[in-house]
Structure 1
Protein backbone atom coordinates (compact mmCIF):
# COMPACT_ATOMS: atom_id res chain seq x y z
CA UNK A 1 0.00 0.00 0.00
CA UNK A 2 1.33 3.43 -0.95
CA UNK A 3 2.63 5.50 1.94
CA UNK A 4 2.60 8.86 0.16
CA UNK A 5 -0.11 10.72 -1.78
CA UNK A 6 0.45 12.69 -4.97
CA UNK A 7 0.67 16.00 -3.08
CA UNK A 8 3.66 14.59 -1.18
CA UNK A 9 5.69 14.69 -4.40
CA UNK A 10 7.40 18.08 -4.39
CA UNK A 11 10.81 19.70 -4.36
CA UNK A 12 13.79 17.98 -5.98
CA UNK A 13 13.12 14.52 -7.42
CA UNK A 14 16.01 12.89 -9.31
CA UNK A 15 15.12 10.84 -12.36
CA UNK A 16 17.31 8.06 -11.06
CA UNK A 17 19.99 6.59 -13.30
CA UNK A 18 20.22 2.81 -13.57
CA UNK A 19 23.70 1.31 -13.05
CA UNK A 20 24.91 -1.31 -15.51
CA UNK A 21 28.22 -3.14 -15.73
CA UNK A 22 30.29 -2.73 -18.89
CA UNK A 23 28.88 -6.02 -20.18
CA UNK A 24 25.39 -4.54 -19.92
CA UNK A 25 24.30 -6.41 -16.77
CA UNK A 26 22.02 -4.63 -14.32
CA UNK A 27 24.01 -4.00 -11.13
CA UNK A 28 21.57 -4.13 -8.23
CA UNK A 29 24.27 -3.54 -5.64
CA UNK A 30 25.24 -0.23 -7.20
CA UNK A 31 21.56 0.63 -7.56
CA UNK A 32 21.08 0.20 -3.82
CA UNK A 33 24.16 2.33 -3.21
CA UNK A 34 23.11 5.31 -5.31
CA UNK A 35 19.62 5.15 -3.84
CA UNK A 36 20.98 5.28 -0.30
CA UNK A 37 23.33 8.11 -1.23
CA UNK A 38 20.61 10.31 -2.71
CA UNK A 39 18.27 9.68 0.22
CA UNK A 40 21.11 10.71 2.55
CA UNK A 41 21.65 13.87 0.50
CA UNK A 42 18.08 14.91 1.21
CA UNK A 43 16.28 14.49 -2.11
CA UNK A 44 12.50 14.80 -1.88
CA UNK A 45 11.60 11.73 -3.95
CA UNK A 46 12.77 9.46 -6.77
CA UNK A 47 11.52 8.83 -10.32
CA UNK A 48 12.47 5.38 -11.63
CA UNK A 49 13.03 3.71 -15.02
CA UNK A 50 12.31 6.76 -17.13
CA UNK A 51 14.43 8.23 -19.91
CA UNK A 52 17.36 8.94 -17.59
CA UNK A 53 16.97 5.50 -16.06
CA UNK A 54 17.31 3.90 -19.52
CA UNK A 55 13.97 2.21 -18.98
CA UNK A 56 13.47 1.54 -22.67
CA UNK A 57 16.90 -0.17 -22.77
CA UNK A 58 15.72 -2.74 -20.22
CA UNK A 59 13.54 -5.82 -20.36
CA UNK A 60 10.28 -5.72 -18.37
CA UNK A 61 11.79 -8.15 -15.89
CA UNK A 62 14.83 -5.93 -15.38
CA UNK A 63 12.63 -2.88 -14.89
CA UNK A 64 10.70 -4.78 -12.23
CA UNK A 65 13.91 -5.84 -10.47
CA UNK A 66 15.15 -2.26 -10.46
CA UNK A 67 11.89 -1.00 -8.97
CA UNK A 68 11.90 -3.69 -6.29
CA UNK A 69 15.52 -2.90 -5.42
CA UNK A 70 14.97 0.84 -5.06
CA UNK A 71 11.69 0.55 -3.16
CA UNK A 72 13.28 -1.88 -0.72
CA UNK A 73 16.22 0.47 -0.17
CA UNK A 74 14.02 3.54 0.23
CA UNK A 75 11.81 1.67 2.72
CA UNK A 76 9.13 4.36 2.75
CA UNK A 77 11.42 7.25 3.65
CA UNK A 78 10.63 9.35 0.57
CA UNK A 79 8.00 9.11 -2.20
CA UNK A 80 8.78 6.93 -5.23
CA UNK A 81 7.24 7.36 -8.68
CA UNK A 82 7.79 4.68 -11.33
CA UNK A 83 7.74 5.24 -15.06
CA UNK A 84 5.86 2.24 -16.51
CA UNK A 85 5.52 3.35 -20.13
CA UNK A 86 5.70 0.83 -22.96
CA UNK A 87 4.15 0.51 -26.41
CA UNK A 88 1.55 -2.03 -25.42
CA UNK A 89 -1.10 -1.46 -22.79
CA UNK A 90 -0.63 -5.10 -21.75
CA UNK A 91 3.03 -4.60 -20.82
CA UNK A 92 2.43 -1.23 -19.19
CA UNK A 93 -0.32 -2.65 -16.98
CA UNK A 94 2.02 -5.43 -15.86
CA UNK A 95 4.71 -2.90 -14.96
CA UNK A 96 2.19 -0.69 -13.16
CA UNK A 97 0.83 -3.53 -11.05
CA UNK A 98 4.32 -4.67 -10.13
CA UNK A 99 5.29 -1.11 -9.15
CA UNK A 100 2.34 -0.95 -6.80
CA UNK A 101 3.18 -4.34 -5.31
CA UNK A 102 6.80 -3.24 -4.81
CA UNK A 103 5.72 -0.23 -2.77
CA UNK A 104 5.73 2.67 -5.24
CA UNK A 105 3.56 5.69 -4.45
CA UNK A 106 2.73 6.80 -8.00
CA UNK A 107 3.14 5.71 -11.60
CA UNK A 108 3.98 7.71 -14.71
CA UNK A 109 4.00 7.00 -18.42
CA UNK A 110 4.85 8.45 -21.76
CA UNK A 111 2.12 7.92 -24.35
CA UNK A 112 2.50 4.74 -26.41
CA UNK A 113 5.31 5.34 -28.91
CA UNK A 114 6.44 4.35 -32.44
CA UNK A 115 3.07 4.06 -34.20
CA UNK A 116 1.04 7.26 -34.76
CA UNK A 117 -1.67 6.46 -32.25
CA UNK A 118 -4.80 8.61 -32.36
CA UNK A 119 -5.84 10.82 -29.42
CA UNK A 120 -8.61 8.34 -28.63
CA UNK A 121 -6.12 5.47 -28.53
CA UNK A 122 -3.77 7.46 -26.30
CA UNK A 123 -6.66 8.33 -23.98
CA UNK A 124 -7.73 4.68 -23.84
CA UNK A 125 -4.14 3.66 -23.03
CA UNK A 126 -4.00 6.00 -20.05
CA UNK A 127 -7.48 5.02 -18.89
CA UNK A 128 -6.65 1.31 -18.94
CA UNK A 129 -3.28 1.70 -17.22
CA UNK A 130 -4.60 4.06 -14.56
CA UNK A 131 -7.50 1.74 -13.79
CA UNK A 132 -5.14 -1.18 -13.27
CA UNK A 133 -3.82 0.09 -9.92
CA UNK A 134 -4.87 2.36 -7.07
CA UNK A 135 -1.83 4.59 -7.64
CA UNK A 136 -2.07 8.11 -9.07
CA UNK A 137 -0.90 8.47 -12.67
CA UNK A 138 1.40 11.28 -13.82
CA UNK A 139 1.35 11.77 -17.60
CA UNK A 140 4.81 12.24 -19.11
CA UNK A 141 4.88 14.99 -21.72
CA UNK A 142 8.12 14.86 -23.74
CA UNK A 143 8.57 15.39 -27.46
CA UNK A 144 10.76 12.26 -27.80
CA UNK A 145 7.70 10.12 -27.11
CA UNK A 146 5.09 12.01 -29.11
CA UNK A 147 3.32 15.25 -28.45
CA UNK A 148 0.58 15.63 -25.87
CA UNK A 149 -1.10 18.95 -26.60
CA UNK A 150 -3.05 20.98 -24.08
CA UNK A 151 -6.44 19.73 -25.27
CA UNK A 152 -5.42 16.08 -24.90
CA UNK A 153 -3.82 16.76 -21.53
CA UNK A 154 -7.02 18.44 -20.32
CA UNK A 155 -8.98 15.39 -21.50
CA UNK A 156 -6.63 13.05 -19.64
CA UNK A 157 -6.73 15.20 -16.50
CA UNK A 158 -10.50 14.70 -16.32
CA UNK A 159 -10.05 10.93 -16.02
CA UNK A 160 -10.19 9.38 -12.53
CA UNK A 161 -6.72 8.69 -11.17
CA UNK A 162 -4.74 10.92 -13.54
CA UNK A 163 -3.41 13.52 -11.14
CA UNK A 164 -0.44 15.23 -12.72
CA UNK A 165 2.00 15.74 -15.58
CA UNK A 166 5.76 15.55 -15.89
CA UNK A 167 6.22 18.53 -18.18
CA UNK A 168 9.45 18.30 -20.20
CA UNK A 169 9.10 21.09 -22.72
CA UNK A 170 10.28 24.73 -23.00
CA UNK A 171 6.75 26.16 -23.29
CA UNK A 172 6.46 26.98 -19.62
CA UNK A 173 3.66 29.48 -20.14
CA UNK A 174 1.50 26.37 -20.53
CA UNK A 175 2.27 25.34 -16.94
CA UNK A 176 0.42 28.43 -15.82
CA UNK A 177 -2.43 27.58 -18.15
CA UNK A 178 -2.62 24.07 -16.72
CA UNK A 179 -2.89 25.47 -13.20
CA UNK A 180 -5.56 27.96 -14.27
CA UNK A 181 -7.72 25.88 -16.62
CA UNK A 182 -7.22 22.30 -15.42
CA UNK A 183 -6.95 23.30 -11.79
CA UNK A 184 -4.46 24.09 -9.02
CA UNK A 185 -4.64 20.56 -7.58
CA UNK A 186 -3.42 18.96 -10.81
CA UNK A 187 0.27 18.43 -10.07
CA UNK A 188 2.87 19.72 -12.50
CA UNK A 189 6.49 18.56 -12.34
CA UNK A 190 8.96 20.59 -14.36
CA UNK A 191 11.18 18.23 -16.33
CA UNK A 192 13.65 20.61 -18.01
CA UNK A 193 16.62 20.88 -15.64
CA UNK A 194 17.98 24.00 -17.32
CA UNK A 195 14.60 25.71 -16.82
CA UNK A 196 13.80 24.71 -13.24
CA UNK A 197 13.52 28.32 -12.09
CA UNK A 198 11.13 29.06 -14.94
CA UNK A 199 9.01 26.00 -14.21
CA UNK A 200 8.67 26.99 -10.57
CA UNK A 201 7.86 30.58 -11.53
CA UNK A 202 4.96 29.39 -13.68
CA UNK A 203 3.57 27.21 -10.90
CA UNK A 204 5.31 23.82 -11.04
CA UNK A 205 4.91 21.80 -7.85
CA UNK A 206 8.26 20.05 -8.10
CA UNK A 207 11.24 19.19 -10.27
CA UNK A 208 12.05 15.83 -11.89
CA UNK A 209 15.27 15.56 -13.87
CA UNK A 210 18.60 13.96 -14.69
CA UNK A 211 21.04 16.40 -13.11
CA UNK A 212 19.44 16.09 -9.68
CA UNK A 213 21.48 12.88 -9.47
CA UNK A 214 24.65 14.98 -9.14
CA UNK A 215 23.64 18.46 -7.90
CA UNK A 216 20.44 18.00 -5.86
CA UNK A 217 21.57 20.46 -3.21
CA UNK A 218 21.97 23.23 -5.79
CA UNK A 219 18.43 22.66 -7.00
CA UNK A 220 17.11 22.53 -3.43
CA UNK A 221 18.58 26.01 -3.04
CA UNK A 222 16.74 27.12 -6.21
CA UNK A 223 13.47 25.75 -4.83
CA UNK A 224 14.04 27.59 -1.55
CA UNK A 225 14.97 30.85 -3.27
CA UNK A 226 11.86 30.76 -5.45
CA UNK A 227 9.64 29.97 -2.45
CA UNK A 228 11.09 33.01 -0.67
CA UNK A 229 10.76 35.24 -3.76
CA UNK A 230 14.54 35.69 -3.98
CA UNK A 231 14.49 35.83 -7.76
CA UNK A 232 18.03 37.17 -8.24
CA UNK A 233 19.44 34.43 -6.03
CA UNK A 234 17.46 31.78 -7.89
CA UNK A 235 18.74 33.04 -11.24
CA UNK A 236 22.34 33.03 -10.05
CA UNK A 237 21.93 29.45 -8.89
CA UNK A 238 20.22 28.43 -12.12
CA UNK A 239 23.11 29.95 -14.07
CA UNK A 240 25.57 27.78 -12.13
CA UNK A 241 23.43 24.69 -12.71
CA UNK A 242 23.19 25.48 -16.40
CA UNK A 243 26.95 25.83 -16.73
CA UNK A 244 27.27 22.28 -15.36
CA UNK A 245 24.50 21.02 -17.65
CA UNK A 246 25.84 22.60 -20.83
CA UNK A 247 29.39 21.39 -20.14
CA UNK A 248 28.13 17.87 -19.46
CA UNK A 249 26.08 17.84 -22.67
CA UNK A 250 29.36 18.26 -24.58
CA UNK A 251 30.59 14.95 -23.13
CA UNK A 252 28.86 11.57 -23.29
CA UNK A 253 26.14 13.08 -21.09
CA UNK A 254 24.61 10.17 -19.20
CA UNK A 255 27.94 8.38 -18.94
CA UNK A 256 29.48 11.56 -17.54
CA UNK A 257 26.68 11.88 -14.97
CA UNK A 258 27.35 8.33 -13.82
CA UNK A 259 31.10 8.95 -13.54
CA UNK A 260 30.46 12.13 -11.53
CA UNK A 261 28.28 10.14 -9.16
CA UNK A 262 31.17 7.71 -8.71
CA UNK A 263 33.56 10.59 -7.97
CA UNK A 264 31.05 11.82 -5.38
CA UNK A 265 31.21 8.45 -3.64
CA UNK A 266 28.24 6.61 -5.15
CA UNK A 267 29.32 4.59 -8.18
CA UNK A 268 26.52 4.50 -10.77
CA UNK A 269 28.19 2.12 -13.18
CA UNK A 270 27.86 2.54 -16.92
CA UNK A 271 25.26 3.03 -19.65
CA UNK A 272 23.98 0.37 -22.00
CA UNK A 273 25.02 0.39 -25.61
CA UNK A 274 24.54 2.05 -28.01
CA UNK A 275 25.31 4.82 -25.47
CA UNK A 276 29.01 5.55 -25.16
CA UNK A 277 31.00 5.03 -21.97
CA UNK A 278 34.30 6.07 -20.45
CA UNK A 279 35.50 2.49 -20.39
CA UNK A 280 39.22 2.79 -19.65
CA UNK A 281 41.11 4.40 -16.77
CA UNK A 282 42.72 6.74 -19.30
CA UNK A 283 39.36 7.90 -20.66
CA UNK A 284 37.98 8.50 -17.19
CA UNK A 285 41.13 10.34 -16.12
CA UNK A 286 40.82 12.66 -19.11
CA UNK A 287 37.17 13.29 -18.24
CA UNK A 288 38.13 14.05 -14.64
CA UNK A 289 40.79 16.50 -15.80
CA UNK A 290 38.24 18.25 -18.00
CA UNK A 291 35.78 18.60 -15.11
CA UNK A 292 38.48 19.80 -12.75
CA UNK A 293 39.45 22.58 -15.16
CA UNK A 294 35.81 23.47 -15.79
CA UNK A 295 35.01 23.54 -12.06
CA UNK A 296 37.93 25.82 -11.29
CA UNK A 297 37.25 28.16 -14.23
CA UNK A 298 33.68 28.69 -13.03
CA UNK A 299 34.32 28.78 -9.29
CA UNK A 300 32.00 25.85 -8.71
CA UNK A 301 33.94 24.19 -5.88
CA UNK A 302 32.59 26.89 -3.59
CA UNK A 303 29.05 25.59 -4.11
CA UNK A 304 30.15 22.03 -3.44
CA UNK A 305 30.49 20.77 -7.02
CA UNK A 306 33.29 18.18 -6.98
CA UNK A 307 35.31 20.01 -4.30
CA UNK A 308 37.71 17.09 -3.77
CA UNK A 309 38.23 16.15 -7.40
Structure 2
Protein backbone atom coordinates (compact mmCIF):
# COMPACT_ATOMS: atom_id res chain seq x y z
CA UNK A 1 0.00 0.00 0.00
CA UNK A 2 1.29 3.46 -0.94
CA UNK A 3 2.06 5.72 2.04
CA UNK A 4 0.88 9.26 1.28
CA UNK A 5 3.18 10.72 3.94
CA UNK A 6 6.16 9.07 2.27
CA UNK A 7 5.14 10.50 -1.10
CA UNK A 8 4.63 14.00 0.31
CA UNK A 9 8.13 13.78 1.77
CA UNK A 10 9.38 13.36 -1.80
CA UNK A 11 7.48 16.38 -3.06
CA UNK A 12 6.72 16.95 -6.71
CA UNK A 13 8.76 19.79 -8.22
CA UNK A 14 7.75 23.42 -8.02
CA UNK A 15 8.42 26.14 -10.57
CA UNK A 16 8.94 25.50 -14.27
CA UNK A 17 8.81 21.81 -15.21
CA UNK A 18 9.05 21.65 -19.02
CA UNK A 19 7.45 18.97 -21.16
CA UNK A 20 10.27 17.99 -23.50
CA UNK A 21 10.22 17.66 -27.27
CA UNK A 22 11.65 14.46 -28.74
CA UNK A 23 14.60 15.02 -31.13
CA UNK A 24 14.95 12.91 -34.27
CA UNK A 25 17.89 12.49 -36.61
CA UNK A 26 17.58 13.19 -40.35
CA UNK A 27 16.60 9.56 -40.94
CA UNK A 28 13.83 9.70 -38.32
CA UNK A 29 15.47 7.79 -35.47
CA UNK A 30 15.79 9.00 -31.90
CA UNK A 31 18.64 11.41 -31.22
CA UNK A 32 19.50 10.60 -27.62
CA UNK A 33 22.60 12.83 -27.67
CA UNK A 34 20.42 15.84 -28.48
CA UNK A 35 18.07 14.72 -25.70
CA UNK A 36 20.99 14.86 -23.30
CA UNK A 37 21.86 18.39 -24.43
CA UNK A 38 18.25 19.39 -23.81
CA UNK A 39 18.36 17.95 -20.27
CA UNK A 40 21.51 19.98 -19.52
CA UNK A 41 19.90 23.09 -21.03
CA UNK A 42 16.73 23.00 -18.93
CA UNK A 43 18.72 22.36 -15.76
CA UNK A 44 21.02 25.31 -16.52
CA UNK A 45 17.92 27.47 -17.08
CA UNK A 46 16.81 26.78 -13.51
CA UNK A 47 13.90 24.41 -14.10
CA UNK A 48 12.49 22.73 -11.00
CA UNK A 49 11.99 19.39 -12.74
CA UNK A 50 11.29 17.83 -16.11
CA UNK A 51 8.43 15.92 -17.78
CA UNK A 52 9.13 13.35 -20.50
CA UNK A 53 7.91 12.08 -22.85
CA UNK A 54 4.35 13.42 -23.04
CA UNK A 55 2.11 15.07 -25.66
CA UNK A 56 4.81 17.59 -26.68
CA UNK A 57 7.18 14.64 -27.08
CA UNK A 58 4.97 13.08 -29.78
CA UNK A 59 4.30 9.97 -27.70
CA UNK A 60 1.73 8.72 -30.19
CA UNK A 61 4.50 8.15 -32.74
CA UNK A 62 6.94 6.48 -30.34
CA UNK A 63 7.19 2.74 -29.76
CA UNK A 64 7.39 1.43 -26.23
CA UNK A 65 11.08 0.60 -26.81
CA UNK A 66 11.75 4.17 -27.94
CA UNK A 67 9.99 5.60 -24.91
CA UNK A 68 12.08 3.38 -22.66
CA UNK A 69 15.25 4.57 -24.41
CA UNK A 70 14.27 8.19 -23.81
CA UNK A 71 13.59 7.49 -20.12
CA UNK A 72 16.99 5.83 -19.77
CA UNK A 73 18.83 8.57 -21.68
CA UNK A 74 17.19 11.33 -19.65
CA UNK A 75 17.83 9.57 -16.34
CA UNK A 76 21.49 8.97 -17.18
CA UNK A 77 22.10 12.59 -18.21
CA UNK A 78 20.05 14.05 -15.37
CA UNK A 79 21.86 11.93 -12.76
CA UNK A 80 19.38 12.93 -10.08
CA UNK A 81 19.95 16.67 -10.45
CA UNK A 82 16.26 17.56 -10.76
CA UNK A 83 13.03 15.57 -10.25
CA UNK A 84 11.87 13.61 -13.28
CA UNK A 85 8.22 12.91 -14.14
CA UNK A 86 7.71 10.23 -16.78
CA UNK A 87 4.67 10.15 -19.05
CA UNK A 88 3.13 6.65 -19.16
CA UNK A 89 -0.08 7.28 -21.12
CA UNK A 90 -0.63 4.63 -23.80
CA UNK A 91 -3.44 3.13 -25.83
CA UNK A 92 -3.00 -0.23 -24.09
CA UNK A 93 -3.19 -0.39 -20.30
CA UNK A 94 -0.48 -3.08 -19.93
CA UNK A 95 1.91 -0.75 -21.75
CA UNK A 96 1.20 2.04 -19.27
CA UNK A 97 1.98 -0.31 -16.38
CA UNK A 98 5.17 -1.50 -18.08
CA UNK A 99 6.30 2.08 -18.65
CA UNK A 100 5.57 2.89 -15.00
CA UNK A 101 7.76 -0.01 -13.91
CA UNK A 102 10.48 1.15 -16.28
CA UNK A 103 10.24 4.68 -14.87
CA UNK A 104 10.68 3.34 -11.34
CA UNK A 105 13.70 1.27 -12.37
CA UNK A 106 15.24 4.35 -14.02
CA UNK A 107 14.90 6.38 -10.84
CA UNK A 108 12.00 8.64 -11.84
CA UNK A 109 10.18 10.56 -9.12
CA UNK A 110 6.63 10.27 -10.48
CA UNK A 111 4.59 9.23 -13.51
CA UNK A 112 2.05 11.22 -15.50
CA UNK A 113 -1.11 9.49 -16.74
CA UNK A 114 -3.71 10.84 -19.17
CA UNK A 115 -6.70 8.49 -18.83
CA UNK A 116 -8.85 7.77 -21.84
CA UNK A 117 -12.01 9.94 -22.00
CA UNK A 118 -15.12 8.63 -20.32
CA UNK A 119 -13.51 6.39 -17.67
CA UNK A 120 -15.70 5.90 -14.62
CA UNK A 121 -14.63 7.16 -11.22
CA UNK A 122 -14.05 3.56 -10.16
CA UNK A 123 -11.82 2.90 -13.18
CA UNK A 124 -9.86 6.09 -12.50
CA UNK A 125 -9.34 5.05 -8.89
CA UNK A 126 -8.09 1.61 -9.88
CA UNK A 127 -5.82 3.07 -12.56
CA UNK A 128 -4.22 5.59 -10.22
CA UNK A 129 -3.67 2.96 -7.54
CA UNK A 130 -2.17 0.46 -10.00
CA UNK A 131 0.23 3.02 -11.46
CA UNK A 132 1.25 4.03 -7.95
CA UNK A 133 2.16 0.44 -7.15
CA UNK A 134 3.92 -0.17 -10.49
CA UNK A 135 5.79 3.12 -10.66
CA UNK A 136 7.84 5.26 -8.27
CA UNK A 137 4.79 5.86 -6.07
CA UNK A 138 3.58 9.35 -6.99
CA UNK A 139 1.11 9.71 -9.88
CA UNK A 140 0.23 12.98 -11.62
CA UNK A 141 -3.14 12.90 -13.39
CA UNK A 142 -3.23 14.75 -16.71
CA UNK A 143 -6.64 16.42 -16.86
CA UNK A 144 -6.55 17.22 -20.58
CA UNK A 145 -9.58 18.48 -22.45
CA UNK A 146 -8.77 20.73 -25.43
CA UNK A 147 -12.29 22.20 -25.61
CA UNK A 148 -14.00 21.58 -22.28
CA UNK A 149 -13.80 21.44 -18.52
CA UNK A 150 -12.30 17.96 -18.09
CA UNK A 151 -12.85 15.97 -14.92
CA UNK A 152 -15.24 17.30 -12.32
CA UNK A 153 -13.65 18.88 -9.26
CA UNK A 154 -15.77 16.65 -7.02
CA UNK A 155 -14.36 13.54 -8.68
CA UNK A 156 -10.81 14.85 -8.40
CA UNK A 157 -11.28 15.56 -4.68
CA UNK A 158 -12.82 12.13 -4.09
CA UNK A 159 -9.97 10.39 -5.90
CA UNK A 160 -7.42 12.36 -3.89
CA UNK A 161 -9.12 11.33 -0.65
CA UNK A 162 -9.13 7.63 -1.59
CA UNK A 163 -5.87 7.10 -3.54
CA UNK A 164 -2.65 7.92 -1.63
CA UNK A 165 -0.59 7.64 -4.85
CA UNK A 166 -2.58 10.48 -6.44
CA UNK A 167 -0.08 13.26 -5.70
CA UNK A 168 -0.61 15.83 -8.44
CA UNK A 169 -2.77 17.02 -11.29
CA UNK A 170 -1.82 18.79 -14.51
CA UNK A 171 -4.82 20.91 -15.49
CA UNK A 172 -5.20 21.50 -19.24
CA UNK A 173 -8.85 22.43 -19.60
CA UNK A 174 -10.95 25.35 -20.81
CA UNK A 175 -10.93 27.51 -18.78
CA UNK A 176 -8.01 26.48 -16.57
CA UNK A 177 -7.67 29.33 -14.05
CA UNK A 178 -10.84 28.88 -11.97
CA UNK A 179 -10.25 25.14 -11.95
CA UNK A 180 -6.81 25.51 -10.35
CA UNK A 181 -8.43 27.44 -7.49
CA UNK A 182 -11.36 25.05 -7.18
CA UNK A 183 -9.06 22.03 -6.90
CA UNK A 184 -6.86 23.77 -4.36
CA UNK A 185 -9.93 24.59 -2.25
CA UNK A 186 -11.42 21.09 -2.57
CA UNK A 187 -8.19 19.36 -1.50
CA UNK A 188 -7.12 21.83 1.15
CA UNK A 189 -4.10 22.79 -0.97
CA UNK A 190 -2.61 19.30 -0.50
CA UNK A 191 -2.85 18.14 -4.13
CA UNK A 192 0.04 19.42 -6.25
CA UNK A 193 -1.55 21.54 -9.01
CA UNK A 194 0.21 22.45 -12.25
CA UNK A 195 -0.74 24.01 -15.57
CA UNK A 196 0.50 23.41 -19.09
CA UNK A 197 -1.38 24.15 -22.29
CA UNK A 198 -2.95 27.30 -20.79
CA UNK A 199 0.47 28.94 -20.80
CA UNK A 200 -1.00 32.08 -22.37
CA UNK A 201 -2.71 32.57 -18.98
CA UNK A 202 0.48 31.96 -17.00
CA UNK A 203 0.20 35.16 -14.96
CA UNK A 204 -3.30 34.14 -13.90
CA UNK A 205 -1.91 30.76 -12.81
CA UNK A 206 0.91 32.32 -10.80
CA UNK A 207 -1.53 34.67 -9.09
CA UNK A 208 -3.56 31.62 -8.03
CA UNK A 209 -0.51 29.98 -6.50
CA UNK A 210 -0.14 26.92 -8.73
CA UNK A 211 2.71 24.68 -7.65
CA UNK A 212 4.27 24.31 -11.09
CA UNK A 213 3.88 25.18 -14.73
CA UNK A 214 4.70 22.66 -17.47
CA UNK A 215 5.19 24.51 -20.77
CA UNK A 216 7.43 23.52 -23.68
CA UNK A 217 10.45 25.55 -24.82
CA UNK A 218 11.73 29.00 -23.82
CA UNK A 219 12.83 27.62 -20.45
CA UNK A 220 15.22 30.50 -19.58
CA UNK A 221 12.40 32.98 -20.18
CA UNK A 222 9.79 31.04 -18.22
CA UNK A 223 12.20 30.49 -15.33
CA UNK A 224 13.00 34.20 -15.18
CA UNK A 225 9.28 35.07 -15.18
CA UNK A 226 8.79 32.63 -12.31
CA UNK A 227 11.82 33.98 -10.38
CA UNK A 228 10.62 37.55 -10.70
CA UNK A 229 7.15 36.60 -9.52
CA UNK A 230 8.45 34.61 -6.54
CA UNK A 231 10.79 37.47 -5.62
CA UNK A 232 7.84 39.82 -5.23
CA UNK A 233 8.39 41.64 -8.53
CA UNK A 234 5.11 40.85 -10.31
CA UNK A 235 5.23 43.82 -12.68
CA UNK A 236 8.68 42.82 -13.94
CA UNK A 237 7.41 39.26 -14.35
CA UNK A 238 4.42 40.53 -16.31
CA UNK A 239 6.56 42.72 -18.57
CA UNK A 240 8.72 39.75 -19.58
CA UNK A 241 5.66 37.55 -20.02
CA UNK A 242 4.02 40.12 -22.29
CA UNK A 243 7.15 40.14 -24.46
CA UNK A 244 6.47 36.50 -25.42
CA UNK A 245 2.72 36.80 -25.99
CA UNK A 246 3.09 37.05 -29.82
CA UNK A 247 5.03 33.78 -29.71
CA UNK A 248 2.34 32.10 -27.63
CA UNK A 249 -0.40 33.43 -29.90
CA UNK A 250 1.29 31.67 -32.81
CA UNK A 251 2.43 28.46 -31.11
CA UNK A 252 -0.81 27.81 -29.23
CA UNK A 253 -2.97 27.75 -32.36
CA UNK A 254 -2.79 23.96 -32.22
CA UNK A 255 -0.65 21.36 -30.48
CA UNK A 256 0.98 20.39 -33.80
CA UNK A 257 1.92 24.02 -34.51
CA UNK A 258 3.39 24.18 -31.01
CA UNK A 259 5.49 21.06 -31.59
CA UNK A 260 6.74 22.42 -34.93
CA UNK A 261 7.58 25.83 -33.49
CA UNK A 262 9.48 24.63 -30.46
CA UNK A 263 11.43 22.07 -32.45
CA UNK A 264 12.46 24.89 -34.80
CA UNK A 265 13.52 26.89 -31.74
CA UNK A 266 15.49 23.94 -30.34
CA UNK A 267 17.31 23.59 -33.65
CA UNK A 268 18.05 27.31 -33.92
CA UNK A 269 19.43 27.26 -30.37
CA UNK A 270 21.84 24.47 -31.35
CA UNK A 271 20.19 21.83 -29.16
CA UNK A 272 18.68 19.68 -31.93
CA UNK A 273 20.38 18.74 -35.19
CA UNK A 274 17.03 18.73 -37.00
CA UNK A 275 13.50 20.00 -36.44
CA UNK A 276 12.01 16.77 -37.85
CA UNK A 277 8.62 15.59 -36.61
CA UNK A 278 6.82 12.33 -37.15
CA UNK A 279 3.30 11.87 -38.51
CA UNK A 280 0.65 12.86 -37.69
CA UNK A 281 2.29 16.24 -36.94
CA UNK A 282 1.47 18.35 -40.01
CA UNK A 283 4.01 20.55 -41.77
CA UNK A 284 3.65 24.33 -41.55
CA UNK A 285 2.55 26.03 -44.74
CA UNK A 286 4.61 28.80 -46.32
CA UNK A 287 2.95 31.63 -44.39
CA UNK A 288 3.22 29.80 -41.07
CA UNK A 289 6.83 28.94 -41.79
CA UNK A 290 7.77 32.60 -42.32
CA UNK A 291 6.07 33.60 -39.09
CA UNK A 292 7.67 30.68 -37.27
CA UNK A 293 11.18 31.75 -38.34
CA UNK A 294 10.52 35.37 -37.35
CA UNK A 295 9.28 34.38 -33.91
CA UNK A 296 12.13 31.93 -33.35
CA UNK A 297 14.51 34.86 -33.85
CA UNK A 298 12.40 36.91 -31.43
CA UNK A 299 12.60 34.22 -28.72
CA UNK A 300 16.36 33.85 -29.14
CA UNK A 301 16.81 37.62 -28.90
CA UNK A 302 14.89 37.75 -25.62
CA UNK A 303 17.01 34.90 -24.25
CA UNK A 304 20.21 36.66 -25.30
CA UNK A 305 19.11 39.86 -23.59
CA UNK A 306 18.38 37.95 -20.37
CA UNK A 307 21.78 36.28 -20.43
CA UNK A 308 23.49 39.67 -20.79
CA UNK A 309 21.46 41.42 -18.09
TM-score range, shorter chain: 0.7 to 0.9
What is aligned with 2:3? Answer: none
What TM-score results when the alignment is normalised by the length of structure 1? 0.84
Contact 2:18 2:50 in 1 (8 A): yes
Inter-partner Cα distance in structure 2 for 1:3 and 1:139: 15
The CA deviation at 1:122 is 2.4
Alpha-carbon distance between aligned partners in 1 of 2:147 and 2:92, rounded to the nearest angstrom: 14
Alignment match of 1:205 (pick from 211, 224, 235): 211
Q: Which residue of 2 aligns with 1:129?
A: 131
Indicate if the aligned counterparts of 1:4 and 1:79 stay in contact, CA closer than 8 A.
no
Among residues 183, 193, 197, which one is paired with 2:199 in the alignment? 193
- Note the alpha carbon deviations across 1:133-173, whole angstroms, 9 max, x for none: 34211111110599322122112212111111111223312
Q: Tell me what 1:152 maps to.
A: 155
**Structure 2 vs 1, CA of residues 94 and 201 (structure 1 numbering), >3 Å: closer, same or farther?**
same
> Are 1:197 and 1:222, in contact at CA under 8 Å, matched by a contact in 2?
no
Q: What is the alpha-carbon distance in structure 2 between the residues aligned to residue 260 and residue 305 of structure 1?
A: 16
Name the SS for the 2:56 alignment partner. Answer: coil
In the alignment, is the contact (CA less than 8 A) between 2:102 and 2:135 conserved in 1? no
Partner of 2:81: 77
Contact 2:247 2:295 in 1 (8 A): no
Q: CA deviation at 1:277?
A: 4.5
Report the counterpart of residue 42 of structure 2 in structure 1: 38
Deviation at 1:38, TM superposition (A): 2.1
Give runs of aligned pairs for residues 1-309 of structure 1, distance below 5 A.
6-113=10-117, 116-144=118-146, 147-158=150-161, 159-169=163-173, 170-191=175-196, 192-210=198-216, 213=217, 215-249=218-252, 252-267=257-272, 269=274, 270-277=276-283, 290-291=294-295, 295=298, 301=301, 304=304
Count, aligned residues: 295
Query: Are residues 183 and 81 of structure 1, via their aligned partners in 2, closer, same or farther at CA, if it must alter by over 3 Å?
Result: same
Q: How many angstroms does 1:218 deviate by? A: 1.7
Distance 1:18 1:273 in 2: 13
User: Any unmatched runs of 5+ in structure 1?
Assistant: none
- 5+ residue gaps in structure 2? 1-5
| Aligned partner of residue 17 in structure 2, secondary structure | strand
SS class of match (1:266): coil
Backbone CA RMSD of aligned residues: 3.2
Report the TM-score, using the length of structure 2 for normalisation: 0.84
